[in-house]
Amino acid sequence: MRKPTTVRSTEAFTRFGYLNLFSCATLLYSEIAAIHGMSNLPDNPDLAIAAGRGLCENLLEPLQRTFGRLAIRSAYRSPQVNAFGNAHFHSCGSNNNNRARHIWDQRSTDGGMGAMATIVVPWLVDRLAKGVAWQAMAWWIHDHLPYSELQFFPKLAAFNIGWHEIPRRRISSFLPPRGLLTKPGLPGHDGNHSDQYAGFPKLVSVSRGRFATGSRDTVSN
C-alpha cells in the first residue's frame, strides 16, 4: 500500500483498520497534527498496519476486554509530527528513539517492528484514590501480556505501552517512586507477582493463533 496522499486513499487506508475495538481514526489522531495542520499518515502503511496489529492484538485488545474501555491519548505519530512535538513541546521523544515505538512505520535499530500507544485505563483511575498503586497495573501487565515497554506518567496514571518483535520487558515511571521498576536481570523480574495486584480481574484471553510474530500465548491468571 502506498502512502495516503488523497482523501480517497486516506479513506481506503483508514477503512483497512486494525481490530474492531480500535479504529484507524482513533489510533491516527494527533492533537499536534490537528492544531498545527500536519498530516499524521504513515510513509509505509503496510509496516504501520502490521505493527499496529501487533500492538492491538497483543496488548490493547486484551486490556480493554479485561478492564473495560481504554482512553487512547496518543498512538501513531508520523516522523514530522513527532519531531515537531519533540522540538516545540518536549512532549515527544526524538525520532531516533521513537522508531518502532510511536513511529510505527519505521523499524528500530535492531531491525525489529514495533508500535506504542499512550493510554489511560479508567478502571485504574477510579481506584487510585482507594490506594491502588500504579505498580499493581504494571505487574499485572508484566505477568499477563507480551509487552516490550511500559512507562507511567503522573496525570491519571497514563502510561506508554509498547509491543515489539524483540521485547525489552522494561518498566519505568515518572510517578513516585520515579525510575526503573524492572528489567531483565533485576531481582524479582521473573516469576509470579500476583501478590502485587490482589483484586484485579482475570485476563480475558484472546484466542490462540491471533497474536503477532514475536509474542507469547497468554493465559488467564
Q: Report, as ranges of residue numbers, the positions in the chain whose pLDDT lies below 70.
A: 1, 4-21, 206-221
Domains defined for the chain, CATH in brackets? 7-196 (3.30.1380.10)
Residue 29: its pLDDT value, please?
Answer: 86
Whole-number pLDDT of residue 121: 98
What pLDDT, on a 0 to 100 scale, did the predictor assign at position 22?
A: 75
| 159 burial level (CB within 10 Å; 0-12, 13-18, 19+) | buried
| Residue partners of 143: CB distance under 8 A and separation at least 6 | 192, 193, 194, 197, 221
Full-model pTM: 0.85
pLDDT of residue 3: 72
Res 158: pLDDT? 97
Amino acid 208: pLDDT = 46
Q: Which pLDDT does position 28 carry in this prediction? A: 87
